Structure 1
Amino acid sequence: MKTFFITATGTGVGKTYVTAALVADLADRGRSVRVLKPVISGFDETNPQGSDTAVLLRSLGQPLTPEAIDACSPWRFSEPLSPDMAARHEGRAIDFAALVEFCRGARAGDEDVLLIEAVGGAMVPLDDSHTVLDWMADLGAPVVVVAGSYLGTLSHTLTTVSALRERDIDIAAVVVDESEDSPVLISETVDTLARFLPGLTLISLMRNADRASIHAALEAIIGE
């Protein structure tokens, strides 16, 4: 099974949008897909329809049942905080070893591709001693870094890539997702990143892109 881990330079830059786009594109190519968002904060158990988990399940064409939610996002927390804080406020803690083992178990499935969407940015704490970066390093899957095109994204993106490279994590691509408040054309952001990240696959993804444009943009990640 081919596996990709989707992380980001921060919260709210478009991880779920990109993950759902990857699911749809893989389906268009006739690939079977499993998608996980194992850890999620800000999850309203009384109204799961508006959650990232719901977006991902809809992209798979799956109903939003309690069983499907549990299978996709077993570590759910109600407050929109970093996972370590959200868990602590509920008197809980994320078992890091169990989280890694859960993802490894999913890699033994029958699907063609497994997509694992992380929580927050690459350095977000999961517990008292582990971050998302540790999670990525332990899994060893190629990583897709999602960035925005907002003011400040250049520093955030270069810092994230540097942190991943320090841990010898394979970066499949950096996807620059168009931000609503972008001060410049997304192409300028990508061109600047390309000067500092030679040899790294950089992809720009417009928010209102049609299916064909998304298909072409994600080709470098998925391949035929």
Structure 2
Amino acid sequence: MKALFVAGTGTDLGKTHVACALLRAAQARGLCVDAFKPVVSGFDPEAPETSDPARLAAAMGRPNAWAEISPRRYRAPLAPNLAARLEGHTLAMADLIADCRTWLDGRDTDFALVEGAGGVMSPMTDDATNLDLMATLALPVLLVAGSYLGTASHLLTALEVLRARGLKVVGIVVSESLDAPNLDQTVEMLRTFERQTPIVVAPRDPDWSAAELADLLL
């Protein structure tokens, strides 16, 4: 089984947009796929269909699977540890790691992805970040960035910390940010600074096929 961790340089940059497109592209190649987002905040139980896990479920043609995709769901649109605390829960990194490993060990599929919450250095628990989860799981990383002013600094910083922890970044996706500088110019600039890992462009188009990304990763 091929597995990836989908990480972001920040929050609300299009990780789920990219993950959904990649899942659809993998299925179009005849692969059996699955996805996991160990914790999600900003979840509205009155409208679960608007959530990230529901979008992942829909991309796989399993619209009712959102609860399996994200077993830990919290209402407040805050860092997971803060959102959990508001509901009387305490998130522990050991539990998140165990959730991910149990899920990965139980997959009988060709391609699986784990999607993080927030950015690479976003807090997940009171004493650990997304990076700590990623480093323990040691999955290859697909890194998603935006195209806003300042994205170069955020992307290059994320790459430095990921590589410092021994993680392999197998692909970079620049997800189009609305009302941002010219997308092509931004990507051209990023490619002058990052030559190790291929960079793919993801327009904010719901029909984006992710074929180029699938060719790179699958």
Shared fold, TM over 0.5: yes
Cα separation, partners in 2 of 1:211 and 1:85, compared to 1, 3 Å? closer
Cα separation, partners in 2 of 1:127 and 1:34, compared to 1, 3 Å? same
SS at match of 2:172: strand
SS at match of 1:136: helix
Map of 2:116 onto structure 1: 118
CA deviation vs aligned residue, 1:50-102 (integer Å, no higher than 9, x gap): 111111110011132xxx33311011110000111111122211121121122
SS at match of 2:122: coil
SS at match of 1:163: helix
Letter in 1 for 2:38: P
Identical columns (%): 41
Assess if the C-alpha contact under 8 Å between 1:194 and 1:200 holds in 2: no
Map of 1:41 onto structure 2: 41
Cα separation, partners in 2 of 1:71 and 1:137, compared to 1, 3 Å? same
Q: Identify which of 193, 199, 217 aligns with 1:202.
A: 199
CA deviation vs aligned residue, 1:94-125 (integer Å, no higher than 9, x gap): 12112112211222211011111110111111
Map of 2:149 onto structure 1: 151
Cα separation, partners in 2 of 1:194 and 1:211, compared to 1, 3 Å? closer
Map of 2:30 onto structure 1: 30
CA RMSD between the two structures: 1.4
List runs of 5+ in structure 1 lacking aligned partners.
none
Question: Whole-Å Cα distance in 2 between the matches of residues 147 and 105 of structure 1?
Answer: 29
TM-score, normalised with respect to structure 2 = 0.95
Question: Whole-Å Cα distance in 2 between the matches of residues 110 and 197 of structure 1?
Answer: 35
List runs of 5+ in structure 2 lacking aligned partners.
none
Letter in 1 for 2:144: V
Q: Does residue 219 of structure 1 match 2:215?
A: yes
Q: How far did 1:209 drift?
A: 7.3
Assess if the C-alpha contact under 8 Å between 2:176 and 2:202 holds in 1: yes
Question: Whole-Å Cα distance in 2 between the matches of residues 39 and 29 of structure 1?
Answer: 29
Question: Whole-Å Cα distance in 1 between the matches of residues 113 and 86 of structure 2?
Answer: 29
Segments of 4+ in structure 1 off by > 6 A?
none
TM-score, normalised with respect to structure 1 = 0.92
SS at match of 1:204: strand
Letter in 2 for 1:145: L
